[in-house]
Each structure stands twice: as structure tokens, then as C-alpha cells.
Amino acid sequence: MPPNIRLFAHSTDRPDRSDWESLVDHLMAVGKSAGRFATSFGAGPLAEITGLLHDLGKAKPPFQAYLRGERSSEPHSGEGARYATENLGALGKLVACCIAGHHAGLPNGVGRSAHRPATPLSERLRQAGQLDLPAGISLTQITTPPAPIKGLPNDDTANFRLHFFTRMLFSALVDADFLETEAFYYRMEGHDSPRGWNGSLDKLARALDAHLTGFGAPQGRVNELRAEILSHVRAQADKAPGLFTLTVPTGGGKTLTSLAFALDHARRHGFDRVIYVIPYTSIIEQTADVFRTALGDNDAVLEHHSSFDWEGIDDRREEERIRFAAQNWDRPVIVTTAVQFFESLFANRPARCRKLHRMAKSVIVLDEAQTLPLRLLRPCLAALKELVRGYGSSVVLCTATQPALLKGREGDGFPAAEGLEPETVRELAPDPPRLYEAFRRVRVEDAGTLDDETLAARLRGANQVLAILNNRRHARTLFDALRNAPGAALLTTWMTPAHRRAVLADIRARLEGGDPVRLIATSLIEAGVDVDFPQVWREVAGIDSIAQAAGRCNREGRRETDEVFVFRSDSDFRPPADLKQFSEVGLSVLEQHADPLSLEAVRAYFRGLYWRRGAELMDAAAVAGKHGILTALAQAGNQLDFPFADIAGTFRMIEGGSLPLVIRGGRWGITPEALDRLAHNPHAGGVARALQPFTVQLPARLHGTLLAAGAARFWNSETFGDQFAVLDNPRLYDETAGFSPEDPEDLGGMIL
């Protein structure tokens, strides 16, 4: 292109273009930042080249005319992608995928996606024109493959590694592009960027030490064991990065112990962050608060999940800092959900992928690792193994009931190549079998088959008792049978968070005071809820669920031994389809082991679960007509036509999903006055945050039925569209038992 034509990447309002950003300056800035981000996983030079090429298409006259306001928007990502395929040899196609998708998302190699309308790479390359490099841009030659894809094996894992590497390269590029563009406009406005954190991991570790020391000398056998576990686990922080397990019974202090190990390990090995992955949104806030208190630095801990709203923060500057940090996880301690973590790893959109490069050389702690969904277990494990193998991370599988994920002989190990090699996994806890015996605080008994009348009688006969059922409607029916009993209470996800908090506060006070409590709950109670009952009844379920139920019994070891009764229900209610197989395998283990919570019983449970499920059904997402994500990647062949958009569209940790319904009025809904005040808030995020305490999640079909029947309506749809459905019929929310659509006559509109 003629050297006398000045090319621009970004424009401002100045008509003389004196402060416009030149294309060469932008390409070089993005290349430098992308290279720096990818250095952590041995791909700095290639990432720099990707950054230098990403906006090559802006050199086209039509795009320069667009910047001058002389025409409409002009696509510009195809030209750099074409240059990469024609000039970078075998690596060119991977670079091309990143460049072609740096705005719209990583595309399929060929074929349009049913989930994402983006143009596939093959078409983008055909449509793109040929351009030379602008004067001042030159590319270094890559003579050897980047570290993560060097020496690829000749098997089905090769394509997974290449596809994963492309995602990480893409992350480095799009984060660099966002940051450099943002920095340019901040400079033009005369403002400093609100990004960054000014502390150090050493300072956080000292604060954590002071916090732990503040507990004083351990009093009692349980606290002595917790101190022993903490000391033993932290002493192993010098071990080489890799895969670890932390098998500690409920009540053993796993949360702070795993955080302490992660911080120590990160400091020893020069890592930048700790990523703490939690299975349930319902407990992420309490975990993040525990970490902020323990570390003494609110800004160091980023809480990132779908319900967190940075637009609801009163301090606008602080809102901006948190929102920016969440975009690319630019904090030393990240507390996130399994949904956010794994769906990001298999996403294709730039906004979801920006943070991926931050996972390299990080300590990743998976709390309650056994809760990963079976139908996606193999791709999840493949991603974790690749983060360790190719990107220098350490992964800690932290649980009270360690799943049998180690590869082994048939019937006695994980039945797929993605299982963990036994020789590569190190246990951090001191002698888990001994710990199990030391923390044994309950006796589990098989109570046989019970009908609801008999179960209700057993619950009436106990002063303080918890019953956990598999079916939400069943829980409501049993509660209705006990509603008039002293201390009767219900806890399900069809109660608003405000309602659940009030119920739990009352229950804890009653337990502490020795007053009657007869709580009926779903598995919600097992999600890290801190309650301590002398007696628990658990409908037969997976052994991990039974173990979690046992963790709500004699939690602090104050009594000699308490009882957990596991029963089969003789009712017509059945567990949800995805829980049925867990219950069936759990029942088999219960019948074959005197102690269903022994480590051997737990191993037998997971072996039975995985072998019964089979390898194919642990990678069950359909990708463009192919069964399984790993299969689709393996069959992409040596042309590297990876179905990025299709994978992103089908990888969902929660099948079917649910939709929010806002409860209005009554004791546990938002007041009409507060709802009216929210009508003046233009930010959907801020509104969602304000409504969250008054919201229940419903299946999509039921959600639609309520709207169609006039029992609910969309609130403020002129501003927010179909985002906020509000319940209009108060009869559908019981102030003791929560939402219930049992009576079809109640599905009509509000009765005044």
C-alpha cells in the first residue's frame, strides 16, 4: 500500500485527525500486550504476530472511509486471517481463527452453526481481500511450535490440544485488543484507567496467617484435627505444580485450608492468582465474604457469577473497577461458579474468553469436585488436564467424597482416556482414612421403605430433625402433613432468597436454644448450609449427597454420635431424571456396605456410577450431528476445522435452564413501592441485583404457562423487554412454603 497514506485504527471527534490512533501504533500495542499475556504459556511470539495482524483489514480504503464518517461500518477481520493462512505455514489456520473471530467470536472452521449465526472461517477467507503489511510492521519467523502444542501425540488428544491452544491464543488477543483500545480512549478523555490491583500475594498470605492465628490454640478434638490438616496441607506447597486432591471430611476446614495451600503454592511457584470454583451460586457470596475477611483486602477478591451485579454498587468508580476486573479476571483471588468457569473454557465469544489466559499458571481449586455434570465430565476433565499439562497450572480437586477419577483396569477406575493418571495425582490431606474415622460423628442406618404417613410420624417423634427429599413437590406435600407440628419448616429453591434466609435464621436460633425444629428440605440444604441437627432423614440418593446430608448432623461434634437414616420413599413422587441414576447406584452401595460413607464405599459408588454411565454418556453434548465434544474435535481431521461455534452453543452445565420469576408483595416479595422506584433505574444489572432477593427460578415451561395464563407479566418491558417476569397472583406464593402452582385454578390473573 502507498507509504504516503496515513492509516488509522481509531478515530475521535477531532476533524483534523491530530489525535486519531494510527493503525501501526494500535497493531504494535496489541501485539506487544498479546505477546506478554501468552508468555505465561510459552506462546508469546505467536501471540504477538496475531496481534500485529488482527486489524490488518482496517487498512482497506472502505474502512478508512468509515472512520471518516463517509460510509457505514466495514468488516475488517478477514484480511488478517487470510494473510495468516497464506504466510504462517501450519500455524496460520489457528491464528486465522483468532483474527476472524476477534469481534464476532471464534467461528466454525466450515459450516454455519445452528447455535451461532457467525460466518464460518472458510467463507471468511474466501470473502477477504489480499493486503500487504503496513509500513512499519514486520513479523518474526516462528521456527518451532509454541510449548503447549510441541510434540503432539498421534492420537485423538492432538486435536483437543490444538483447539484448546487456539482458545488460549484467542484470549490473549481479544484481551489485549480490548485493553489497548480502552487505554487509547481513556488517554483521549484525560482519565486514568480504573484497572489494576496494588497489593501482593505476600501481603495476602501474611493477612491470612494473622487471621488463622487469631483463632488461638485449638480447643477440642475437632479443632485440633482442623489445625493438623491445615499445617500438613500447607507444608506441601513447595511440591511441583500439577494435579492434587484434598480429601477432607465435612467439618474439617477445607475452605480456608485449600485457600492457604493455594496462596502458598502460588507464591512458591510465581503464579499470579488463585481461582476458587464453587458448584452452587447459593454459597458463592458467603465463600467470597469468608475470603475477604481472611485476607483483609476486599479489592483482592473478585466474586464473579451470573447473579453478581457491579452496576448496583453505590460508588461509581468502584463499580467500574469491579466490572473491569470481572471482564478479564485481573485480580489475585477469583471466586466463581463451575458454570462460569467451564462454560468460559468452551465458549467462543470474546467477552467470555478474555479471561482464559489468566488461568495459565494459576492455582485452580474445585470445591465439591464430585458435582461436575456427568454428561460433560470427560470434556471438563480434558480441559483441567490440559491446563496442567500445557499451561503450567495446578488443580486441586477438593471434596469430602473424592470421586473415582483415576484411570485403572476395567471396572476399577475411570472408564475413559480423560481419567487422571494415578501417578500424577497427589493427595494433600494427612491420611484420609484416619481423618474419616476421626471425624466420624454420625451413624448411618438403612431405614428401609417408608410411606409418607410413617415418615411424618417419625419426624413428629423427634424434637429436632431434618428430612431431605429428592422431589420439590414431595417436600411440599410432606411439609403440609406436618405444618401444624411445633417447629415445622420448609426449605426449597421455590422460596425467595429473603424467605430462605429468614427460615434458616429461625432454624439456627431454635437449634441453639433447644426448641423444636422439624425441617423438610430438598438437597438445597446440602449446599454448604451451616446447620447442626441431632437427627437427619435422607431419601436414598447418591452417596455424595448422603455424605453432605450427614454433614448437617452433629456438625461440630458436640454430641457423642447422632443418627442419619436413609430411606426409600413409597410415594408416587420420583426424583428428577438426572438424579435417578445417582439414587439407583447409591441404593446399590447402601445395600452392599455396612458403612455407606466409608472411603471404600465412596470409591465403589463413583466406580459404579461412571461404569454404569459409560464413556460415551459422559461426553453427551451433540455437536453438529456428532455425539460428543471430544468426538467432534477428533473427527475434525488434520485440516483443523474445529467447530468452535457449535461447541459453544451446546456446552451447558445445566440442561434446560430455568427462568426467574419475581415475587411481588406479601411478606417475602418486593414491595410495590420499591418496584416503582426501580422503574427509574436504567441499568438492567442494577435492577436484577435489587430483585434477586425476591426471585425464584422456574422451569421454562412453567414460566411460560404463568405468563400465558395471566398469572405473571413482564415488568417495565418498554425499557427492559422480556427480562423481568413478575408474579401477579399472590395465591401462588405461600408465605410459609413458598411458590406453588399446584391448583390449576390459581393459574389465572390476580384477584383483587
**Which contacts of 712-715 are long-range, i.e. CB under 8 A and separated by 24 or more positions?**
712/661, 715/662, 715/675
- Its pTM stands at 0.87
> Check: CATH 3.40.50.300 for 221-435?
yes
User: Per the structure block, which three cell numbers stand in for 477?
Assistant: 406435600
First to last CA, the chain: 73
Q: Minimal CA–CA distance to 158: which of 661, 636, 691?
A: 636
What pLDDT, on the 0 to 100 scale, is given for residue 743? Answer: 55
Give the containing element (helix H, strand E) for 398.
strand 394-399
pLDDT band, residue 452 (cuts 50/70/90): very high
Interval 246-275: pLDDT, tens? 998 877 888 999 999 999 999 999 999 999
Domain ranges of the chain: 8-189, 221-435, 440-595, 658-747
Mean pLDDT value of segment 315-339:
69
What pLDDT, on the 0 to 100 scale, is given for residue 494? Answer: 92
pLDDT above 70 as % of the chain: 91
pLDDT above 90 as % of the chain: 58
**Which contacts of 129-132 are long-range, i.e. CB under 8 A and separated by 24 or more positions?**
129/60, 129/78, 129/79, 129/82, 130/79, 130/82, 130/83, 130/86, 131/1, 131/56, 131/57, 131/59, 131/60, 131/79, 131/83, 132/1
Least confident of 167-181, 323-337, 724-738: 323-337
Ranked by mean pLDDT, the top range of 298-307, 440-449, 525-534 is 440-449
227 has a pLDDT exceeding 50: yes
Interval 130-150: pLDDT, tens? 999 999 999 998 989 999 999
Mean pLDDT value of segment 185-189:
84
Average pLDDT of the chain?
88
Interval 642-671: pLDDT, tens? 999 999 999 988 776 678 899 999 999 999
What pLDDT, on the 0 to 100 scale, is given for residue 39? Answer: 97
184 has a pLDDT exceeding 60: yes
pLDDT band, residue 87 (cuts 50/70/90): very high
Q: Are 119 and 112 in contact (CB under 8 A)?
A: yes
Mean pLDDT value of segment 431-436:
87
What pLDDT, on the 0 to 100 scale, is given for residue 659? Answer: 83
What pLDDT, on the 0 to 100 scale, is given for residue 116? Answer: 62
23 has a pLDDT exceeding 90: yes
> Check: CATH 3.40.50.2000 for 440-595?
no
Same fold yes or no, 221-435 and 440-595: yes
